[in-house]
Structure 1
Amino acid sequence: MNLANKITVARIMLIPIFILFFPLFPSWLIQKSIVFQHIDSYGLYYAAAVFVIASATDKLDGYIARKYNLITNMGKLLDPLADKLLISAALILLVSQHLIYAWIALVIIAREIIITGIRIVASAQKIALQADQFGKIKMVAQVIAITAVLLNNGPIRLANEIPIDQMLMYAALMMTVFSGINYIRNNYHALKLHS
């Protein structure tokens, strides 16, 4: 396994740590342990830090793979899978904490499943589908929005409590839907010709 793939695997391994920091523990456990009390109070900030680190590795493994010609079939499979697992885990946990609406998570996750399904079908037929910049922009928008929600606007909180985190989440949602539609539109003819 090359360095780029090891970084991708590390990103997947950070997901359980990210989940661990979410304050999802029962009250009786929180009352009995100072560690769980600390996580209950500050866990979302730790989760945000782990999430940002894990998200940053996406750029790092891609950069290393391209620079040192380490692009492999394993990397092509693991890299998007790691991204989808991280984003999906974050969205589900945010819904569980009532920090975002369930339908937002559902739309974003559904888009990822649909596009992944298209890629699997195309790959089975040996069709190379075009990727575009909107997919990368979508990922960046999702990471920024999720981080803002985790931090409850954190350093960007304004005196009048404008819900910037929710505005960013809606922007990420729109970018997600747009990039999905654009991906299908751009690759429709390639799939149709091989059907």
Structure 2
Amino acid sequence: MPNVPNTITLLRVALILPLAVLLRQGEFGIALALFIVSALSDLADGVIARRWNLRTRFGAIADPVADKLTMLTVTLLLAFDGRLPWWLAAAVVTRDVVIVGGALAYHYLIGTVEMAPSTVSKLNTALEFLLLASILAIGAGFVDGGMWVTVLTLATFVTIAWSGTQYVLVWGRRASQARRRRAARS
């Protein structure tokens, strides 16, 4: 029997291409609906995995990858379309590259990485989603833009910088401690 949370994650990955096509075609209303379905499926797979103890190594890796691919796809396409500032898209990409690169470096140089999102990182994800969904809703003509979008953009940037810095400091400290323990054993 297939693992339900992993199946939901794979279906979320399958939504990325249609979402990208809809964005390129300017179909912001349908893209918004798919984006919301993707976010809800992310919540669902996590709840199901925890509630029924269906966590797997595959899910632990695939779920955040699916999230990042979805968010990066929407972020970059909205920036390309001029609906999202490029400086914010660059900040999103930079933070993700630093986190993924740092996790890979830690894994290969130190050992197993057991990452869990911090509170600030969860806030960042929520603000990024809210900002992207808002821009899609504006593009679809469901709501008007305004100062609130600027405030949301700046708040998102602050959490990107804050969470990115936090990951670097926390994992840098853990790497340093692991190296000291290793040196003490030698």
Matching of residues 1-195 of structure 1 within 5 Å: 1-24=2-25, 40=26, 43-124=27-108, 125-129=111-115, 131-152=117-138, 156-157=143-144, 162-195=146-179
Pick closer, same or farther for the CA change 1:92–1:127 going to 2, 3 Å.
Answer: closer
Is the 8 Å Cα contact of residues 78 and 84 (structure 2) preserved in structure 1?
Answer: yes
Unaligned runs of 5+ in 2: 180-186
Farther-moved stretch of structure 1 (76-85 vs 176-185): 176-185
Distance 1:192 1:19 in 2: 41
- The alpha carbon displacement at 1:182 in A equals 1.4
Q: Which amino acid in 2 is paired with 1:133?
A: T
Give the secondary structure class of the aligned counterpart of 1:11: helix
Change (3 A) 1:126 1:23: closer
Q: Which structure exhibits the higher relative contact order, with contacts defined as CA atoms closer than 8 Å and separated by 6 or more residues? A: 2
Q: Is the 8 A contact 2:24 2:77 kept in 1?
A: no
CA deviation after TM superposition for structure 1 residue 122, in Å: 2.8
Question: TM-score, normalised on structure 2?
Answer: 0.85
Asked whether the equivalents of residues 12 and 41 of structure 2 are also in contact (C-alpha less than 8 Å), the reply is yes
Q: Which runs of 5+ in 1 are unaligned?
A: 25-39
Deviation of 1:78 after TM superposition, in Å, equals 0.4
Q: Quick one: which amino acid aligns to residue 75 of structure 1?
A: G
Question: Aligned pair in 2 of structure 1 residues 113, 122: CA closer, same or farther (>3 Å)?
Answer: same
Match of 1:30 in 2: none
Instruction: Kindly indicate whether the alpha-carbon contact (under 8 Å) linking 1:108 and 1:177 is maintained by their aligned counterparts in 2.
Output: no
- Matched pairs, number: 175
How big is the shift at 1:143?
0.4
Spell out, residue by residue over 1:34-90, the C-alpha distance to the aligned partner (whole angstroms, 9 max, x if none).
xxxxxx4xx111111111110121111111111111111101110110111011100
How high is the TM-score relative to the length of structure 1? 0.82
- Separation of aligned partners in 2, 1:74 and 1:178: 28
After superposition, give the CA deviation of every residue in 1:137-164 in whole Å (9 maximum; x if it has no partner). 111110000011111185553xxx6232
Cα distance change, pair 91–131 in 1 and its aligned pair in 2 (3 A): closer
RMSD, aligned CA? 1.9
Residue type of the alignment partner of 1:83: D
User: What one-letter code is carried by the residue in structure 1 that aligns with 2:59?
Assistant: G
Partner letter of residue 119 of structure 1?
A: A
Given that residues 14 and 54 in structure 1 are in contact (C-alpha distance below 8 angstroms), is that contact kept between their aligned partners in structure 2? yes
